[in-house]
Amino acid sequence: MVSMENPQRKYSILENLGSGAFGVVCRAVDIATGGEVAIKKINVQTLKRKKVTVNEIMVMKRNRNPRVVSYLDSYLVHEQIWLVMEYMDGGTLYDVIRMTKIYEDDIATLSRECLQGLEFLHSNHVMHRDVKSLNILLRTDGSVKLADFGFSAQLTPKQSRRSSVIGTAWWMAPEVVEGQPYGPKVDIWSFGIVGIEMVEREVPYKNESPLSTQLLIATQGIPELRQPKLLSPLLRDFLSCCLQRDERRRWSAKELLQHPFVTSANPASSLVPLIILVKKWKEERKK
């Protein structure tokens, strides 16, 4: 699963990019090539964390695609696994949502790029199960990629559905919250919530606890848009196709890629000014 060489001889750490329950993510440079990489240092003292990490490595190794963050290597360093990935220099979609308004043209482009990633995963029988703005990474060339595959599930003909309650509460589909058997369309609901994030600059039920949020999703289902009249009919319809409570009526990633809101989207390069602007603002805040 992991390389036995010492990564500290291969990579030089430049800065910490962020941290979470798993550990920290750093920006580093490959000493031999000068190329930048991201290193996720994962604390694996517990069996549960080991399983999640092994799962993340296996999914990334097997599923290489331009819309999925590239896996490069992994190493065991004391009680940590260092997961080395391509460095996405534009940060996260969450950063963009937090720092600026995103207009519909850019929402359409971001949606197409994410849905291409989801369509690739679903066609390979992989559910992401933690689609949210923090797990959508950007690069200053306009690239948009899905990341963080610790909660992903590989489906098989024998096990084509899952029923474990997993993910991040605010983005969970109703069938996940209710413990019902579910398939890849849970990712489409989650992406519909990302759509609301892009429109309203925050997630529905933001101020509720995870447990209260799950209860609201189970009882109320589809969150109401605060100002639907400010959105085009096409965008409203697109979000409605993602956020169908009945999984059978919810569109697949493949179908959503044919939705008029998405088919009219600009090339990914059109996102460059937005991504660079937010990156500059973030760098200025650090000073």
Backbone dihedral angles phi then psi of residue 26, each to the nearest 5 degrees: -120, 155
Q: What pLDDT score was predicted for residue 251?
A: 98
* Same domain? 24 vs 143: no
Residue of 113, 112, 252, 111 whose CA lies nearest to 183: 252
Within a domain: residue 101?
Answer: yes
Cα distances (angstroms) measured from residue 141 to each of 100, 137, 274: 19, 12, 11
pLDDT in tens, 252-275: 999 999 999 999 999 999 999 999
CATH number for the domain spanning 19: value is: 3.30.200.20
Within a domain: residue 233?
Answer: yes
Q: 86, 120, 154 — which closes off a domain?
A: 86
* Same domain? 59 vs 116: no
Range of the domain at 70: 7-86
Q: 86, 111, 139 — which closes off a domain?
A: 86
DSSP letter (8 states) at residue 170: G
* Same domain? 147 vs 246: yes
Within a domain: residue 283?
Answer: no
Degrees to nearest 5, angle at CA 64 with 62 and 65: 150
* Same domain? 229 vs 118: yes
Residue of 269, 233, 265, 135 whose CA lies nearest to 193: 135
* Same domain? 252 vs 155: yes
Within a domain: residue 80?
Answer: yes
* Same domain? 128 vs 187: yes
Bridge partner residues of 80 (DSSP): 43, 77
* Same domain? 67 vs 179: no
Mark the ranges of the chain whose per-residue pLDDT is less than 70.
none
Within a domain: residue 42?
Answer: yes
* Same domain? 104 vs 16: no
Q: Which of 106, 130, 148, 187 is catalytic?
A: 130
* Same domain? 267 vs 169: yes
Within a domain: residue 239?
Answer: yes
* Same domain? 123 vs 248: yes
Instruction: Give the whole-angstrom CA distance, residue 181 versus residue 194.
Output: 23
Q: Report the number of distinct structural domains present in the chain.
A: 2
Within a domain: residue 287?
Answer: no
Within a domain: residue 54?
Answer: yes
Q: 40, 57, 86 — which closes off a domain?
A: 86
Q: What pLDDT score was predicted for residue 51?
A: 85
pLDDT in tens, 140-174: 999 999 999 999 999 988 888 999 999 999 999 99
Q: Which residue has the tokens 């220099």?
A: 89
Q: Which residues fall within 8 angstroms of residue 267, CB to CB, at 6 or more apart? A: 109, 142
* Same domain? 148 vs 220: yes
Backbone dihedral angles phi then psi of residue 286, each to the nearest 5 degrees: -70, -25
How is the beta sheet containing 71-77 ordered, strand by strand? 11-20, 23-30, 36-43, 80-86, 71-77
* Same domain? 30 vs 120: no
Q: What pLDDT score was predicted for residue 135?
A: 96
Contacts 24+ apart (CB under 8 A), 95-98: 95/278, 95/282, 96/138, 96/274, 96/275, 96/278, 97/133, 97/197, 97/198, 97/201, 97/202, 98/201
Q: What pLDDT score was predicted for residue 142?
A: 97
- This prediction has a pTM of 0.95
**Helix-strand-coil split of the chain, %, nearest 5:** 45, 20, 40
> Residue 195's Cα: distance from chain center in Å?
12
Residue 130 designated active-site:
yes
Backbone dihedral angles phi then psi of residue 38, each to the nearest 5 degrees: -110, 135
